[in-house]
Structure 1
Amino acid sequence: MFQLIDETLGKWLRHAFFVIVRSYYALFYNVSCSGKHLLQDTPGALLVATHVSRHDGPLIAAILYTTQRVRPVVHHHEYHNWFQWFPMFVARAIPVSSPKAWSAERRQARKEHSMGRILSALERGESILLFPAGQARRQEAEVIAPHLSGVHDILGTNPDRPVLLLRLDGLGRFQPARHDYFWSFLGRQKGRRHVSLDIKTVDDLDPTQDLATFNAALEVKLNTPIRDAF
């Protein structure tokens, strides 16, 4: 029954959110995206993205909405925030992590439940959007905390899963802000901010490495410009 509701009412609600969010970004941001065909041609991909601002999730969802079903992975605090819960529920976001006050057994059970949902979605051909750093940048470079093991765990369970790297540029506070002249007819020379999304295939991540080594290699990929990394 839930699957039927998701494919009917949920689909209409997702499209309504898409129209609203996409209209907002069309008005205030000049967004370009390269490599969308890679996502369209790769069902069930793990999409790992840089995290430069709080706009990342809705912006990526709006830009990739018409390409393929993408399920975002979010921290449980973000998912259960009263202001964000409903759109995340409609988008079928998958909450991960758990309150530190929970017992170790309960936290492990939640982790296994979340991982099961992620793997099931991938098997159905849905792509998973994951920010390896876990939070928006507080420094110039992308930093993956030692305890964050999402990408490592997913690939460790399913090493043949295709991986795509998505880099955002022009949106974060540590990135140059450049603008077009979209609003010049109102006398404003500073118009929409230029933002770019670049998607590339990654095929050399090794989940057999220990977590620290794996995260260090992933950090390099997240912090190396696309044109130089491939």
Structure 2
Amino acid sequence: MKKLITLTFVLLLRVRYRITVNGLKELKSRTQDDRPVLFLPNHQALIDPVIIMSLLYNTFAPKPLVDEKQSEHPLIKHLMDMVNAIFIPDLNVSSRDAKEQVFAGIEEVAVSLKRGENVLMYPAGRISQGHQEVIGANSEAVSVIYGAPEARIVLIRIRGLWGSRFSRARGIPSLLGDIWKLLFRVLANGLLFMPRRPVHIEIIEPDDFPVGGDKKIMNRYLENFYNTEPDRNTEIPPYWWQGYQPIHGQSS
């Protein structure tokens, strides 16, 4: 059932997105290394976890670290339960209980890695506010790396989603609401003729990641990796009769 759902998402995503991936075959070929993998992508839009999971799930089955606020709808919650998601509250909530739940979630990530399970988490802790990824003083990924030093670090750089409906370049996005709009547009375009947004994904297991460094060094390394050739604010027409030419705006 899970493979069928993954295939369905892959087919739907391919209708709207022209996805190119570099590094996935090389990662899959390293079967001799059975250490758990900590996947660390940048977070351009609400849709990129769906894209990443569709690429990784059948081979690596990573447990995603998920903002519970984004999973309040029963359908999304059910899908997250199917992939054994680890839920944490909004990182911007300052209540004592919320902070304790965040610490518990981060601890569960480290424990999962120690059990040999793969995990997907976003070092920034939220979708990008601008065209560049800002991690700042966030320490969740660093805490996990310290807590599970045996894990392999795999970085994922996503390009092409800044300016999409699911990004903050268009205001405050809604995953479920915008997915329904996307499905409507797919049907309105006759399934096969919808203009597609180019999305490029690079998957790299660096050999120079500063595992022994402090928080500032690791976060700076991640930001430098994610912000190589920052995206422009790009809008893709939703319907074929509006043309296929991307519309570029400012990169802020």
How far off its partner does 1:171 sit? 2.2
> What is the Cα deviation at residue 144 of structure 1?
0.9
1:74 aligns to what? 66
After superposition, the Cα gap between the structure-2 partners of 1:145 and 1:84, relative to the gap in structure 1 and judged at 3 Å, is farther
Count of residues paired in the alignment: 200
Match of 1:171 among 157, 161, 165: 161
SS of residue matched to 2:58:
coil
Aligned pair in 2 of structure 1 residues 93, 38: CA closer, same or farther (>3 Å)?
farther
Identity over aligned pairs, percent: 22
The gaps in structure 2 that reach 5 residues or longer are 168-188, 230-252
Superimposed CA distance per residue, residues 100-158 of structure 1 (whole angstroms, 9 cap, x where no aligned partner): 4643xx45643443234212322343321111112222211100142x21210011122
Aligned to 2:52: 60
Aligned to 2:215: 211
Distance change >3 Å, CA 190–CA 80, structure 1 → 2: closer
Instruction: Name the Cα RMSD after superposition.
Output: 2.8
Structure 2 counterpart of 1:149: 139
Shift of 1:80: 3.5
User: Alpha-carbon deviations, 1:70-126, whole Å to 9, x = none?
Assistant: 1111123223444521111111111124684643xx456434432342123223433
> Is residue 158 of structure 1 aligned with residue 148 of structure 2?
yes
- The amino acid across from 1:170 in the alignment is G
Are 2:40 and 2:156, in contact at CA under 8 Å, matched by a contact in 1?
yes
AA paired with 2:147? T
Q: Deviations over 1:13-32 (max 9, x none)?
A: x2232122111012222212
What stretches of structure 1 move > 6 A for 4+ residues in a row? none
Of the candidates 123, 129, 133, which is equivalent to residue 124 of structure 2? 133
Pick closer, same or farther for the CA change 1:108–1:135 going to 2, 3 Å: closer
Gaps of 5+ in 1: 1-11, 176-184, 226-230
CA–CA distance in structure 2, aligned partners of residues 211 and 116 of structure 1: 17
Amino acid in the other structure paired with 1:71: K
